[in-house]
């Protein structure tokens, strides 16, 4: 169980970092928010891409990884869109 959580965090860090690099974004800053963005992308689009395009359920599939990065980019976009607003 703990190994799975650590694996998801590591995978989320990689997917979130790639998404930040592809979008040219410095936000969210830091390692922990990057992990959260990557894990959120993995749960959303990574799962959908894995269901639609993966050939087996063993290990990390390229389709799941690509979906995770795309999902992280979407989550990063939404984060930037909603965090830029000021409260009056």
| Residue 28 located in a structural domain | yes
Structure confidence at residue 54 (pLDDT): 62
Retrieve residue 56's tokens. Answer: 């087996």
Q: Is the pLDDT of residue 23 over 70?
A: yes
Q: Which domain holds residue 59?
A: 2-83
Number of domains in the chain: 1
**CA gap 48, 45 in Å, rounded:** 5
Mean pLDDT to the nearest integer, 54-69: 70
| Residue 88 located in a structural domain | no
Three-class SS state of 65: helix
Structure confidence at residue 87 (pLDDT): 47
Sign for the CA dihedral angle at 70, 76, 79, 81 comes to negative
pTM above 0.95, yes or no: no
Distance of CA 68 to the CA centre of its chain: 5
| Residue 77 located in a structural domain | yes
| Residue 73 located in a structural domain | yes
């Amino acid at each position: 169980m703990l190994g799975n959580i650590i694996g998801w965090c590591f995978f989320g860090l990689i997917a979130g970092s790639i998404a930040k690099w592809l979008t040219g974004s410095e936000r969210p800053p830091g390692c922990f928010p990057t992990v959260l963005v990557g894990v959120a992308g993995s749960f959303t689009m990574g799962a959908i891409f894995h269901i639609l395009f993966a050939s087996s359920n063993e290990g990390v599939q390229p389709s799941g990884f690509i979906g995770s990065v795309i999902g992280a980019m979407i989550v990063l976009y939404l984060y930037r869109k909603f965090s830029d607003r000021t409260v009056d």
